[in-house]
Structure 1
Amino acid sequence: MQGRSAWHRPAKAVIVAGVLASTLALAFGPASATPSPTSSAGGPPGVPAEVLPPVSGEIPASPVPDDASLVASLASALTVGPLGADVTASVVDAATGAVIFSRGAERPQQPASTLKIFTGVTVLRAMGDDTRLTTRVVTGKKPGTIVLSGGGDATLTRLPTDPTDLPAGLGARTSSLTELATLTAQSLRARRLTNVTLLIDDSEFTGPSLAPSWPNAYLYSGFVSRVSALSADGGRVSAGSPWRDADPALAAGQFFAQRLIAEGIVVQGQVARVDGSKAAGASQISSVQSPTIADMVERMLTLSDNDLAEALAHIAGGKLGGEASFAGGVRAVERTLLALGVSTSGVTVADGSGLSALNRVTSDSLAHILAITAFDAPAVGATVGELWPVASGLPIAGVTGTLAPRFVGLGTSVGRGIVRAKTGTLRGVDCLAGLVRDRYGRLLAFAFVADRAPGPVLAARNALDRAASLLI
C-alpha cells in the first residue's frame, strides 16, 4: 500500500535535516553545548558521534522512490515460519505520513517491551525532559526522628556508581543511598543530632505494587520488582543480583540505616514505614537527585528496564492521570496519545513496561508515535522538542542495549549501526519498532509485531532484523 496518508502531521515540525542531527546522528542525547550536570567526563567511551551516514548509497536519478520492490521484499521477509501467521506491520514516511507498507496495521496485538515507547513519550509530555526526581531525608513529627522519603527514582543505587561500569553511551551518573547517608550525617552533626530513629516514606506511589495481570513468576524470576517510590538498585537485593527485595522501600531504608551507622550516627530501633503525605511542615535535612527524565527515558529504552518503565509510568500518572499508580499511568498514556493525534482504537494499556499479557497496540500506532517523536517541534526559545529522548534512546543495531548482539544473521549486516529500534520479547511475542533513514534520504518509522510467533526465538528475531535492514 503506497501513497495513503496515515495521519495528519502537526503543522509545527522541524525539518528532516534537523531531526536527523538531533535525534539520529547522535548516539545518546541532543546536540547541546551544555553537558548534563550528571554526566561524567571520565565515563566510558560513547558510541560514535554520528551513527547514520549522511545518505546510505547513491541518491537515485528519480526523485520519486520506487517502493514496489520494497513492498514485495517486506511481504516475503515477514512471511516466515518462526514469526507465525499473525504478523502486523507498518512502515511510513515520517515526514509526510505516507504509508509505504501496511499489513494488518490496525489490528491489536501484544506489544511486549515496545510499549515502553508509549511510556517514554508520556512521561516526557508530563514532566519535560530536564526534570529530576528527588530522594529526601526530612524531619519526622517526633524529635529525633528522620524520614527517608522516596520520590520515584528507580535509578537510585545502594553504592556510588563507578562511571566505568556505565553502559556505552549512558553517561548520566545516578545517585546513591551511600552519598545521601554521608550528606545526612553531615547535616545531623551540624544540628547536634547524632542519635535518631529512622522511618521510610514510599507514599508517593499509590495502589498495588504489582500489576494485577502479572504472573507471580515475573517477580520470583527477577523480571521486575514491586513498584515502589523508594527503592535501590531497581528493587534488587544487590546491584548485580537478579533476585528482588520482598519490600524494596524497607530494604532501602535498612541499608540507609547501616550507612548512617557507618557515618557515626546512632540509629535506634527498627526501620518502620510512615505516610509522609501527612507530614506537613517537615524540614529537609538532605537530598540527592536523579538523572534527568530525558536520561532516564533513554536508559529505559536502551536497556529495556522494566523497573524504570513502571516508575516512569507511575510518575506520569501522578501528573496526567490523577494518581501515581498503575491506573493513573494507564490514563496518562491514553490522554497523551489522544493529545498527539494518535488513534487509541485497538490500544489497551495495563502497565508501563509491556509485561502484561493484557496490553494491546497496533503497529500503526507504534509507527505513528515514533514519527511524532522524530518531528517533535521545539518550544519557543528551545533548540529541540521535548520528545527527542525517545528517538535517541532507541537501541542501535549491533551497537547498544538490547540490539547490541543482534543484526548478525544473513541479510542483516547492512542494518548494523543504522537501524534504531525498540525490541519487544515475551513468550510467543517478538516485535521491533523504530526509525531508519533509507537510501533516498527519507526518515522511515516502522513497527513489526508478531504475537503468535512459534520460534525458534533467534530465527524470529533474525527475520525482524532482516525486514528492518530491507528499509535501508
Structure 2
Amino acid sequence: MRRSRVLGVSVLVVMAVVGAYVTADAYDVVPGLVTLAPAPAPARPFPTAPGAVAPAPVAAPLAALPAAAPVPSDARLGALAQALAADPRTGGSVGVLVADQLTGAVEAAIEPDVARTAASTTKLLTATAALGRLDHARTLETRVVRESADQIVLVGGGDMMLAAGAGRPDAVNGRAGLGDLAQQVARALTLAGTTTVRLAYDDHLFTGNAVNPGWASSDVTNGYVAPVTGLAVDIGRTRDAEDAPRSTTPSLDAARTLAKELEADGITVTGTPARVVATSGATTLGTVRSASIAEIVDYVLHESDNTITEVLGRLVALDEGLPASFGGAAAAVLEALREDGLDITGTHLDGASGLSHGTHVAPALLVATLRLVTDPSHPRLRGVAVDLPISGLSGTLADRFTTSSARGFVRAKTGSLTSVTSLAGTVQDADGRLLVFAVIADHVPVTGEDAARQAVDEFVTQLTGCGCRD
C-alpha cells in the first residue's frame, strides 16, 4: 500500500514537471516545439539584379556653333598689337601673340616665333615644369646629423627660406626654423651627455656655380638674387627688408645662425663652421621641413623671386637625373615642356629664373605654356594659372592696373630687366572670353622702362574691351 502511494506521488511530480516545461516551452523560455508566438511571415524572395540595358544617349554639353555666330574681331586686335609695336615707349623691338584660350586661334601676332630676352616671364616655364614633374606635397628637409663624438653637421635639402628662429606654420618663407632645429639637436645631445660640439655644414645638394655668370655683377648686392645653395636663411637677405643685399655666403651664414641658436639652448659650439660632406647613414639629431612644392611655386609666381625659382629648376633637374646646376636646371625645364608637347625650338634658358639676358623665349612658347596650364585636361598644372598675380590686386601686379578697367581681369607674370619689359598671362574680353597673351619688348630705352610698362598695360587693358563684331 505504501509502495503504491509512493508511485502515485512520483507520477504526479513527473506530470507537474512535464507540464511546467511544456508551459515554459509555449512561452519560448526553454527550447522546444511548442510556442504561443504568431507564425512568422514567409521569407521575401532573394533579390535578383536587373539585366544590363543600353545607356541613354548623352546630350552634348554645348550645341554646335551656328554658322552666323559672331567671330572675334581679329582686325581690331591686330591693329592694337601693331600700335603697341610702333609705340616709341616700347623701343621698336616687340614680340606679341594673343590667342583664344579655348581654340588656340591666333587673334594678333607680331614676330611670335622670335625668341627674345623674356626676363621673369621665364618663370612660367619653370613653374610649369616643377608642378608637372615634382610631388606637389613634397617638402624640403633640413637636418642635423652626428658625424662623430664631438662634431655635428647641418645638412641642407634645398630650403633657402629657413627662419633664423622659430618656424612659422602660416608662412612659405620661414616655414622651417633653425631655432626649432636647434632645440631638437640640443635635447638629443644633452640626453647623450654631450654639451660641447664642433659644427660643420653640407650644402652639396646643388652643384656647379652658385652665381650665374650671366647675372649682372651687382645683382647679389642689389638684392635681386642670392647665390643658389642647398640652404640659407631668408633667401640670403642680410637684413629684414625685401630689397636687402644678399649674402655671398648664405650656407655659412645659416650654419652660424644655427650655432647661435644652439648656444642659446645650452650647447657650446667651438670653432668656425666648415664645409664638409656628411657621412651617409649618420645619426639624425633633428629635422625641420619647408613649405610644400605647390606652396613654393605659388610664392615664386607671386613674388617673382629669382633665387627660389633657380632652386625649383635644380629640383626638377635632380628629378630628371641631371646635374643640379644652372645648365642642368635649364635642360630639365625645357625637356619637361617638350615632354608635355610644347615646341621649344629656338628657346635658350640661361638658368631657370630669367634674370640673365642670355635667356631667350618666344611669345609663342609663353602662350603655348599658358594654354597648357589652363587646359582642364592637365589638372596638375592648374596651380600655375590660378597662382599668377591678379591685376591691381596681388603679387607683382598689385601696383599695376590699379585705376584701369582691367583691374581684376588679368592674371599674368611680369618681367623686367634693364631694357626689357615683358608680360604674359590671361585676360577676359568684353564677352567673357578668355584670351592668352604674351608681350616682350627687349630694346626699351633705359630711361623709359616705366613708360614701356605703361604701354604694355594699356595694350592689355584694351584687350578687355574687345569682343565680337556687331
The TM tier, using the shorter chain, reads 0.7 to 0.9
Q: Secondary structure at the residue paired with 1:218?
A: coil
Residue 80 of structure 2 is aligned with which of 73, 78, 98? 73
Asked if 1:344 is matched to 2:344, the reply is: yes
Match of 1:96 in 2: 103
Asked if 1:131 is matched to 2:131, the reply is: no
Q: Which whole-Å CA distance do the structure 2 matches of 1:333 and 1:414 have between them?
A: 35
Q: Which whole-Å CA distance do the structure 2 matches of 1:387 and 1:82 have between them?
A: 35
CA shift, 1:290, in A, is 0.9
Match of 2:333 in 1: 333
Q: Which whole-Å CA distance do the structure 1 matches of 2:165 and 2:91 have between them?
A: 45
Which structure: larger Rg? 2
Q: Secondary structure at the residue paired with 2:231?
A: coil
Match of 1:272 in 2: 274
Query: Which structure 2 residues correspond to residues 298-313 of structure 1 after superposition, within 5 A?
Result: 298-313=298-313
Task: Work out whether residues 174 and 234 of structure 2, in 8 Å CA contact, stay in contact via their aligned partners in 1.
Answer: no
Asked if 1:395 is matched to 2:389, the reply is: yes
Q: Which whole-Å CA distance do the structure 2 matches of 1:243 and 1:189 have between them?
A: 37
Q: Which whole-Å CA distance do the structure 2 matches of 1:282 and 1:414 have between them?
A: 60
Q: Which whole-Å CA distance do the structure 2 matches of 1:395 and 1:82 have between them?
A: 24
Supply the AA of the counterpart residue of 1:464. V
* Deviation by residue 1:348-407 (Cα, 9 ceiling, x = unmatched): 0011111111110000000110110111535xxxxxx22122112211111111111111
CA shift, 1:172, in A, is 7.9
Asked if 1:429 is matched to 2:436, the reply is: no
Q: Which whole-Å CA distance do the structure 2 matches of 1:356 and 1:321 have between them?
A: 24
Cα RMSD, aligned residues only: 2.2
**Residues paired across the two proteins, number:** 397
Q: Which whole-Å CA distance do the structure 1 matches of 2:199 and 2:377 have between them?
A: 46
Q: Which whole-Å CA distance do the structure 2 matches of 1:334 and 1:77 have between them?
A: 30
CA shift, 1:103, in A, is 0.8
* Deviation by residue 1:259-291 (Cα, 9 ceiling, x = unmatched): 010011111222111113xx1211221111111
Q: Secondary structure at the residue paired with 1:208?
A: coil
Task: Work out whether residues 321 and 328 of structure 1, in 8 Å CA contact, stay in contact via their aligned partners in 2.
Answer: no
Residue 165 of structure 2 is aligned with which of 153, 159, 164? 159
Q: Which whole-Å CA distance do the structure 2 matches of 1:87 and 1:238 have between them?
A: 38
Q: Secondary structure at the residue paired with 1:386?
A: helix
Q: Which whole-Å CA distance do the structure 1 matches of 2:86 and 2:372 have between them?
A: 28
Task: Return 5+ residue gaps in structure 1 as ranges.
Answer: 1-15, 18-60, 379-384
Query: Which structure 2 residues correspond to residues 5-404 of structure 1 after superposition, within 5 A?
Result: 62=69, 64-140=71-147, 142-160=148-166, 174-240=175-241, 242-276=244-278, 279-320=279-320, 322-375=322-375, 377=377, 385-404=379-398
Task: Work out whether residues 200 and 272 of structure 1, in 8 Å CA contact, stay in contact via their aligned partners in 2.
Answer: yes
Supply the AA of the counterpart residue of 2:298. E
CA shift, 1:247, in A, is 1.0
Supply the AA of the counterpart residue of 1:349. L
Q: Secondary structure at the residue paired with 1:183?
A: helix
Question: 1:104/1:321 Cα in 2 relative to 1: closer, same or farther (>3 Å)?
Answer: farther
Residue 420 of structure 1 is aligned with which of 389, 411, 423? 411
Q: Which whole-Å CA distance do the structure 1 matches of 2:104 and 2:405 have between them?
A: 25
Q: Which whole-Å CA distance do the structure 1 matches of 2:201 and 2:173 have between them?
A: 27
Q: Secondary structure at the residue paired with 1:226?
A: coil
CA shift, 1:178, in A, is 1.6
Q: Secondary structure at the residue paired with 1:290?
A: strand
Question: 1:148/1:447 Cα in 2 relative to 1: closer, same or farther (>3 Å)?
Answer: same
Task: Give me the identity figure in percent.
Answer: 37
CA shift, 1:321, in A, is 5.1
Match of 1:458 in 2: 450
Q: Which moved more, 1:173-182 or 1:226-235?
A: 173-182
Match of 1:471 in 2: 463
CA shift, 1:62, in A, is 4.3
Q: Which whole-Å CA distance do the structure 2 matches of 1:154 and 1:370 have between them?
A: 28
Match of 2:435 in 1: 444
Q: What TM-score do you get using the length of structure 2 for normalisation?
A: 0.80
Q: Which whole-Å CA distance do the structure 2 matches of 1:62 and 1:372 have between them?
A: 27
Q: Secondary structure at the residue paired with 2:299?
A: helix
CA shift, 1:461, in A, is 0.7
Q: Which moved more, 1:336-345 or 1:357-366?
A: 336-345
CA shift, 1:133, in A, is 0.8
CA shift, 1:162, in A, is 6.3
Task: Work out whether residues 320 and 332 of structure 1, in 8 Å CA contact, stay in contact via their aligned partners in 2.
Answer: yes
Match of 2:399 in 1: 405
Supply the AA of the counterpart residue of 1:314. R
Q: Which whole-Å CA distance do the structure 2 matches of 1:309 and 1:254 have between them?
A: 25
* Deviation by residue 1:49-108 (Cα, 9 ceiling, x = unmatched): xxxxxxxxxxxx945333332322332244311101111011112222211111100011
Q: Which whole-Å CA distance do the structure 2 matches of 1:163 and 1:131 have between them?
A: 16
Q: Which whole-Å CA distance do the structure 2 matches of 1:62 and 1:414 have between them?
A: 27
Task: Return 5+ residue gaps in structure 2 as ranges.
Answer: 1-60, 63-67, 465-470
Task: Work out whether residues 65 and 440 of structure 1, in 8 Å CA contact, stay in contact via their aligned partners in 2.
Answer: no
Q: Secondary structure at the residue paired with 2:225?
A: coil
Q: Which moved more, 1:308-317 or 1:124-133?
A: 124-133
Task: Work out whether residues 169 and 175 of structure 2, in 8 Å CA contact, stay in contact via their aligned partners in 1.
Answer: no
Q: Secondary structure at the residue paired with 1:216?
A: coil
Specify which structure has the bigger relative contact order, considering alpha-carbon pairs within 8 angstroms and separated by 6 or more residues.
1
Q: What TM-score do you get using the length of structure 1 for normalisation?
A: 0.80
Q: Which moved more, 1:83-92 or 1:234-243?
A: 234-243
* Deviation by residue 1:130-184 (Cα, 9 ceiling, x = unmatched): 21111111121x21321111111122221346689x6xxxx78621212221222
Supply the AA of the counterpart residue of 1:414. S
Q: Which whole-Å CA distance do the structure 1 matches of 2:376 and 2:182 have between them?
A: 40
Supply the AA of the counterpart residue of 1:470. Q
